[in-house]
Amino acid sequence: MSTKSTARAPTAQITASPRAWAELMLLAMIWGVSFLCNAVVLREVGFVTIVAFRVGGAALVLWAYVLWRGLKVPRGVRIWGAFAVMGFLNNALPFTLITFGQQHIPSGLSAILNSTTAVFGILIAAIVFADERLTSRKIIGVSLGFLGAATAIGLDAIHAFDITSVAQLALIGAAIGYGLSGAWARAKLTGMPPQIASAGMLTCSSAMMIPFALWAEGLPSLDYSAATWGGLFYLAVLATAGAYLLYYRIAASAGVGNLLLVTLLVAPIAILLGAVILGESLAPNAYFGFALLAIGLLIIDGRILRYLRAASHNRPTK
């Protein structure tokens, strides 16, 4: 679903233009639909093979883009080692955990749990980087985020630990992987053109996932329905390659701080599509958990608190 290749949360957001807001909504739509596509494709394709198709296809698309733009490709062993770690943390691990989890839990719940990515990203950045310390606002937001995730999972997952519980934990593991990838990107890939970094890490994740898929699930039959091929195409071309390019475009024009809001928008889209198209229904605790998580992310974002503070200062006195 996600690129999320930086975990930094600036203290001030760049004011987004109407075009940037439209692109933010588009990115949220793209990632929201990816959960629906996973659910559809899983009916015919193994979860590891799905990931192999996704990263392999996306790598081809991005390398075509790199060649078209005439970008210089790095050749050093160290940088390709950094791409390999990034490919594992940002692609191979989370994509595999997400598709595994979606075999056993609804796509809407998967998207809710994946929303903890921003919470883990901020927490990991605070642990790793001296300039990303946890302020009181971030501590409150992160705490609400964890409470929201625990509420969405529910106490039943603890009392009756089963494959559903494992699937929910897999989505949390995917979010942790994304958070770690953000710290790794900042530490090792700062200054690297994002298109090259994306193509490089997808190449490395393809080298990991394609052999693993062949070993774990064998040669794919390729005798899939049109809906399955459409889903695979969407996941590789739009939800991965296209989303990467759009993500970095928005980061440059609107700032990474505004990209935090995408996390809030993806889950409702996935929930709606899962209900309307797949007939999914979520337990009340899932919605309550997402509400807590959303409040936590809004507190971390800070702009609503600044708006309320400014409104209280501007309130006329009697």
> So where are the chain's domains?
18-311
pLDDT band of 9, cuts 50, 70, 90: very low
Which residue is listed with tokens 């052999």?
A: 211
The answer to whether 142 and 102 are in contact (CB under 8 A) is no
**DSSP three-state, residue 206:** helix
Q: State the DSSP H helix or E strand holding residue 271, giving kind and residue range, or none if neither.
A: helix 256-278
Residue type, position 45, single letter = V
Altogether, the residues listed in the chain come to a count of: 318
Q: For Cα atoms 131, 136, 138, give the angle at the middle one, nearest 5 degrees.
A: 65
Say what the pLDDT of residue 17 is. Answer: 72
CA distance 122 to 104: 28
Longest dimension (CA), the chain: 76
pLDDT band of 159, cuts 50, 70, 90: low
CA distance 70 to 64: 10
CA distance 263 to 115: 6
CA distance 284 to 290: 10
pLDDT single digits (tens) 249-294: 877 766 666 667 787 889 999 999 999 999 998 989 899 899 998 8
**In degrees rounded to 5, what are phi and psi of residue 148?**
-65, -45
pLDDT single digits (tens) 211-245: 999 999 999 989 999 999 999 999 999 999 999 99
pLDDT band of 6, cuts 50, 70, 90: very low
**In degrees rounded to 5, what are phi and psi of residue 276?**
-75, -45
pLDDT single digits (tens) 88-137: 999 999 999 999 999 999 999 999 999 999 889 889 988 988 887 888 88
